[in-house]
């Protein structure tokens, strides 16, 4: 059973990019060898980036919208403590996905939190993930 990324982040404004596999090599030199020896240690998964925008409605007040947005950021941070699981996005299933690192990006100039004309307080983010499956 896989979980939809749009459900987790509560937004349709996501861009999911799958990058080539991460290969692990060990380089070493030892006595009697003329040069460098490389050992291929296998693949370490595929890098997957998830870029998006978290939103909070500012109809009540700016301070409550900011508190709600911070709750959404904290909930997104909790993904890093989960075990590998299957997630879907636009019909594609990413198997054994680990959430490694999250960064907030400036939305407008140097502001991380910005209020748009639609009455939403929002912030951009990028999540760096690894898919431990070759599929």
Query: How does pLDDT run across 65-102, given as a tens digit for each residue?
Result: 889 999 999 999 999 999 999 999 998 899 999 999 99
What is the extent of the structural domain holding 38? 3-131
pLDDT at 41: 79
pLDDT band at 135 (very low <50, low <70, confident <90, very high): low
Domain harbouring 62, CATH code: 3.30.980
| 111-133: pLDDT as tens digits | 888 887 777 888 999 999 998 87
What total number of domains does the chain contain? 1
pLDDT band at 134 (very low <50, low <70, confident <90, very high): low
Closest CA to 133 of 1, 22, 3: 22
- Cα 113 from chain centroid (whole Å): 19
Q: Which residues contact 71 (CB under 8 A, 6 or more apart)?
A: none
Structure tokens at 11: 């937004």
Residues 21-61: tens digit of each pLDDT: 888 888 787 766 667 777 777 777 889 999 999 988 877 78
pLDDT reported for residue 70: 92
Cβ neighbour number for residue 49 with a 10 Å cutoff:
13
For 5-17, what is the mean pLDDT?
Answer: 91
Q: How big is the CA angle at 116 (ends 79 and 51), to the nearest 5 degrees?
A: 30
């Amino acid at each position: 059973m896989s979980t939809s990324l749009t459900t987790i982040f509560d937004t349709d404004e996501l861009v999911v990019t799958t990058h080539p596999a991460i290969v692990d090599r060990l380089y070493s030199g030892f006595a009697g060898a003329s040069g460098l020896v490389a050992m291929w240690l296998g693949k370490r998964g595929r890098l997957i980036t998830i870029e998006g925008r978290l939103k909070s409605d500012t109809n009540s007040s700016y301070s409550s919208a900011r508190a709600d947005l911070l709750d959404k950021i904290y909930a997104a941070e909790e993904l890093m403590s989960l075990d590998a699981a299957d997630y879907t996005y636009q019909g594609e299933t990413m198997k054994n996905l680990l959430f490694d690192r999250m960064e907030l990006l400036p939305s407008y100039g140097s502001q991380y939190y910005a209020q748009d004309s639609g009455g939403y307080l929002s912030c951009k983010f990028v999540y760096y993930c690894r898919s431990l499956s070759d599929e």
